[in-house]
Structure 1
Amino acid sequence: MSVDTTLRVYATVTGSSAIFTTPAGVDEPLAATSGEDIRQVIVQRAATEARHAASAVELVTSGDHGDHRILVDSDGGIHRAKSAERRTEVPQFAEASEGKEVSTLAQEQEALGVAEALAPEPLPSAPVTRRSFIEDADTSALGRGGRALLAKLGLGPSRAQAERLAAERLVSQHWAGCRTAAVVNGKGGVGKTMTTAMLAAVFARHGGGNVLAWDNNDTRGTLGWRTEQGLYDTTVRDLLPAASDLLAPTAEISDIARFVHHQRVDRYDVLRSNPELLATHQRIEQAEFDTLMSVAARYYRLVFFDSGNDESAERWLRMVDSSYQLVIPTLAAPEPAESAALLLDALRERDDRSRSLADNAVVVVTQAEPTASAAAGRIAAGFRGTVREVARIPFDPALKSGPLRFDNLRRATQNAWLRVAAAVANGF
C-alpha cells in the first residue's frame, strides 16, 4: 500500500471570490479585481504554494464552476491530475474540505464528480500517425496544452482575457520587411502625437523593440516635447547629412542611436523634428524623405509617422505613399471629426492606392473629457462602415498633457490602446 505525498490545496468558488485553503489547512479569502478571472487568481495562488514546496501541488476546486482536480506547477502551468489507477489510498482531508474523510481516490473522485473527466484516455485500437516529439514553442503566459486543459476544466480565461491574449499575439508579430503607419488628420490638437507614441509603445513593448516614432512635421512637431530625450540633442536635420554613412555596408546597428531618442521603458525610439525652427528652415523634399525612409527601413522593423497639418507638403504626401496603414485620430467633437472625414474623402479621390488606404483606415476616437462618452459614441458610430475599424479611447488624464508613458495610463486605457494596435496590425 503506497502513501500519497502530493500536496493539496483547495478552493471553494462563489462568484468573483473564493476561499483558498493552504496545505496547512489555513483558509484565505481571494477576490478577483476588475478585468481578472477568479479562476486565474486561484491558479496563481496555487502556483505560489508550488514554488514554496518546490513541486507541483494538486488543486481541488468546487463551487460555481463545478468540481475539478488539476496539478499546478511553480510557473502556473496546468497539468492533468493523476488517474485513479495510479493510487489506492489518500490521506484524510483537512478540516478545510468540510470534514469529509475519503479512504480511496475513486471515492474522492466520485464525491467531487470528476471521475469521468479525469479518466485515462483509451489506447488506440489501430496504429496511428506518430506525433512529433518537437512542438512549436509557445512563450505566452500559458501554453496551448495548458489553455486547453484549463478550458476543459472550466478554468479557462474570461472573454476579456482571451481577447487581450489574441491582441497581444497580433502586435508581437514580426513581419518581413519594414512596416509603416501614418497617423494623420489635417486639424491640429486632435491626438496625432499621442496616438503615435501609444502605438509605438504597444508594438515595442510586445514585439521587442526596433520601433521608430518619426515626427514628420514641418511646423513645430511636439513629439519630442512629450517623450524622453536621449544622450544626444539631435533631430531629423542632423540625420540627413549622415544618411550615406548610416546606409554604408560598414555601418553598425548602434550608429543610429546618435540621431534618435530612446524611450527606456516603452522601448521605442523617437526621430524628432525641431519645434524651435520655422517651417521654412526644416522643409523636407521628396528625395530627402526617401533617403530618410531608407535609413529607417535599414534600422527598424516598424515606423509610425506623427504627421503635420499641411496635407499638401511633399513630405506629407510622400509619407502617405510610403505607408501600409493609415490611423486617423479625432476627438469626440464635431470639428476634428469633420476634418478626419474630409481627409478620407480627399484620399479616396486622389488615386487608387490612397483610396485603398482610406477604406482600410483605423479611426481612433479619443474621449478628451470625462463627460464626453456619449459624444464619443456618436462620432464613432458616424465613421463605422466608412473605414475598416473604429476604436474608442476612454478619458484618461495621463493623455492630456505631460510625458506620454504607457505605464501612466489606467488599465482600461491600456487595453483600449492594445485593441487599436491589434487593428493596425491587421492592416500590415
Structure 2
Amino acid sequence: MTTSASKPTVHFVTIDGNRVTVDGTTIDADPSPHTAAVHHIARTYAQPLGQAVEAIASDSGGHMRLTINPDGSTGDVAPITETEARDLERTHRGTGLHVVASDDDPAPTTNPWVTTAAAGGHPAAATEVHVSPTAPRHARKSFISEGPVIQPAKQGWRGSLNRFGLRVGPGPAEKEWRQDVQLVSQHWPGPRTIAVANGKGGANKTPTTAMLSAVFARYGGAGVLAWDNNETRGTLAWRTQGSNHDNTVLDLLPRVDQLLGTGAQSAEMSYFAHHQPADKFDVLRSDQSVDGGHEVSADDVNKIHRVAARYYRMIVMDSGNNERAANWRAMIEHTDGLVVPCTNAEETAEAGARLLETLIERDEHNAALARNAVVILSQRTPGKDPNVERITANFEPLVREVVTIPYDKALQSGVIHFDALRPATQRAWLRAAASVARGLSG
C-alpha cells in the first residue's frame, strides 16, 4: 500500500457537519468534519502500518504539516508555505498516499487540524490532504511472530494429558497463576521498597515479610532483601535461617562508606546479610542484644537504605510497633508499596485500619501509600471464621486490594520455608505478592 505508484483517492463529503461519505460508504462523524477525516486516515493508513503517518493539509487558510497517530490523535502541527507543500507532495508522490477531501465550509476560522476545544471555534474540513508513512522503509510487517507462545498446560488434568503426549492449553486457573508469576517475576527500573507495617504485635508482620520476600526471590531471581527495621530484637531473625555469623544492622552501620565505595563488591554483603538457600532471599537482622544503648535513628535507616538499594533490586522491610519512632517514619519515606498485615483477630485489623487513617492525614506521600496499600489477612486459626469475611469487607473501601491467606500450621512457629506450605497457601502468597507488584510503578 505504501509503495504502489498509484495514489488511492478518498472523498469526504460533509452534510450539515454531521455525516461523512467515504468512497460511497456513509459513516457517523463528529460535529467537526476534520475529526472524521483524521480518524479515517488513522484507521485506514496509520493503524494497518502500526505507526504514525505524516499529513499535509491544505485549505483556503493555507497549508500545514501534522502527524496522525494510529489512535486518531494528532501530533505536531506546523504551518508550511505553498512551496514547501508542493515539495513535500513531490517527495511523497509514488511512495505515499494522496487523499482528496471536499469542503462544505471553504472559509475556516482556525486551524482545521486542531481539536475544537483547543482551537476555540468550529473548524472546517480540509480540502486536500497528502498522507505518507513517517518511516515508509520500515513499514513492512515483521516476519517474527508478535503473539506470545502459549505453553501447554502443566497443571491439573490438562497437564496430566500433556504428560501422555497430548498438547492441551492451560485452563483458567493456570492462566491466572501464570499471570501472577509474570507479575512477581518482573524487574523494575531501579530498586523498590515495600514496607510491612501494623502497629499491633501479633499482626503477622514477620511471616508476611518472609513470604513476600520468598515469592519475589523464587520467581524473580535473587536480589531481594528482607530487612528487619525493628528497634531491637525483631523476630525476623527467629523465623529465618542464619548464616555462619551473627551480624546485624548495627554491624553494618560502621561499614556503610566502605560498602558504598567504588571498590566494593556485591559479595561483601554476605558478611552482614543471612542468605536463605531454598527461598533465595537475604535477611538483614535487627539488633538481638539485650544490652547496649544504640537506638536506630532516621539517619541510620537512610544510610542502610542507600546500601540496600545499591545491592538489591527489592527491599521488603519488617517494622516495629511504634509508628512514631524515627526509624519507622524513615522507612515510610523510602517506601514504594505499603502492605498492612493482619489476622482474623479483630484487634489486629483495627490497628491496621487506624494506621491507614493516620497516613492519609499526614502528607501526600503517606496518603498515596495508604490508598494504594494491600491488606494481607492471614487466618491464624483453622476452620471457617466469619471474621475473615467481615474484616475483608471492611477493609476493601480503604485500600487497593485485600488478599486472604488460609490457615497453615507451617506458618505458626519455627523457621518459615515456602516449600513447607500447603499448595493452597503457596498459591495465596503468590496472589498476595502479585497484588503488591501491581502497585509498584514501572
8 Å Cα contact 1:217-1:307 kept in structure 2? yes
Helix, strand or coil at the partner of 1:392: strand
> C-alpha separation between the residues in 1 aligned to 2:150 and 2:263?
35
8 Å Cα contact 2:337-2:372 kept in structure 1? yes
Match of 1:290 in 2: 302
> C-alpha separation between the residues in 2 aligned to 1:396 and 1:138?
36
CA-based RMSD:
2.4
8 Å Cα contact 1:398-1:408 kept in structure 2? yes
Residues 189-232 of structure 1, C-alpha deviation per residue, up to 9 Å, x if partnerless?
11000000000000000001100000000142000011000122
8 Å Cα contact 1:333-1:379 kept in structure 2? no
1:213 paired with 2:226, answer: yes
8 Å Cα contact 1:192-1:329 kept in structure 2? yes
Residues 146-186 of structure 1, C-alpha deviation per residue, up to 9 Å, x if partnerless?
x9xx9xx9932121111100000000001111000000000
TM-score by length of 1: 0.65
Helix, strand or coil at the partner of 2:340: strand
Helix, strand or coil at the partner of 2:203: coil
> C-alpha separation between the residues in 1 aligned to 2:144 and 2:226?
42
1:252 paired with 2:297, answer: no
TM-score by length of 2: 0.63
Helix, strand or coil at the partner of 2:257: helix
Match of 2:320 in 1: 308
> C-alpha separation between the residues in 1 aligned to 2:414 and 2:280?
18
8 Å Cα contact 2:204-2:341 kept in structure 1? yes
Q: Give the counterpart letter for 1:182 in structure 2.
A: A
Q: Using a 3 Å threshold, how does the CA distance of structure 1 residues 194 and 400 change in structure 2: closer, same or farther? A: same
Task: Give the count of matched residue pairs.
Answer: 293
1:326 paired with 2:334, answer: no
Q: Using a 3 Å threshold, how does the CA distance of structure 1 residues 135 and 331 change in structure 2: closer, same or farther? A: same
> C-alpha separation between the residues in 2 aligned to 1:284 and 1:375?
36
Match of 1:132 in 2: 143
Match of 1:196 among 183, 204, 209: 209
Match of 2:385 among 368, 373, 377: 373
Q: Using a 3 Å threshold, how does the CA distance of structure 1 residues 301 and 140 change in structure 2: closer, same or farther? A: farther
8 Å Cα contact 1:332-1:372 kept in structure 2? no
**Superposed, which structure 2 residues align to 1:24-63 within 5 Å?**
none
1:264 paired with 2:292, answer: no
8 Å Cα contact 1:180-1:302 kept in structure 2? yes
Residues 300-326 of structure 1, C-alpha deviation per residue, up to 9 Å, x if partnerless?
000000000010111100101100010
> C-alpha separation between the residues in 2 aligned to 1:325 and 1:234?
27
8 Å Cα contact 1:194-1:404 kept in structure 2? yes
**Superposed, which structure 2 residues align to 1:16-415 within 5 Å?**
129-133=140-144, 155-277=168-290, 281-415=293-427
Match of 1:106 in 2: none
1:423 paired with 2:435, answer: yes
Q: Using a 3 Å threshold, how does the CA distance of structure 1 residues 141 and 268 change in structure 2: closer, same or farther? A: farther
Give structure 2 stretches of 5+ with no counterpart. 1-138
Residues 338-390 of structure 1, C-alpha deviation per residue, up to 9 Å, x if partnerless?
10011010000111110110011000111100135322111111101210010
Give structure 1 stretches of 5+ with no counterpart. 1-127
Q: Give the counterpart letter for 1:131 in structure 2.
A: S
> C-alpha separation between the residues in 1 aligned to 2:373 and 2:341?
10
> C-alpha separation between the residues in 2 aligned to 1:236 and 1:139?
45
> C-alpha separation between the residues in 2 aligned to 1:353 and 1:202?
27
Q: Give the counterpart letter for 1:264 in structure 2.
A: P
8 Å Cα contact 1:331-1:337 kept in structure 2? yes
**Which moves more between the two structures, 193-202 or 157-166?**
157-166
> C-alpha separation between the residues in 2 aligned to 1:414 and 1:318?
32
> C-alpha separation between the residues in 2 aligned to 1:138 and 1:378?
42
Residues 257-301 of structure 1, C-alpha deviation per residue, up to 9 Å, x if partnerless?
1000000000000000123336x7341112111110000001000
> C-alpha separation between the residues in 2 aligned to 1:166 and 1:206?
12
> C-alpha separation between the residues in 1 aligned to 2:288 and 2:147?
48
